[in-house]
Amino acid sequence: MRPEIGAMLDQPWRLSASVALRPEPFGALAYHFGTRRLTFLKRRDLVNVVNLLADHVDVRAALIAAGVRQEQWPAYVEALEALAATDMICPNKTAEVSA
- Hey, where are the domains in the chain? 5-89
What would the pLDDT profile of 70-92 be if each residue is shown by its tens digit?
999 999 999 999 999 999 999 99
What would the pLDDT profile of 28-55 be if each residue is shown by its tens digit?
999 999 999 999 999 999 999 999 999 9
* pTM score above 0.75: yes
Least Cα distance to 5 among 54, 89, 92, 78 occurs for 78
Instruction: Quote the DSSP letter at residue 11.
Output: S
**How many CA atoms lie within 13 Å of 71's alpha carbon, on the beta-carbon side?**
0
- Fold type of domain 5-89: Outer Surface Protein A; domain 3 (3.90.930)
Neighbours of 92 (CB within 10 A): 19
* Greatest CA separation for the chain: 39
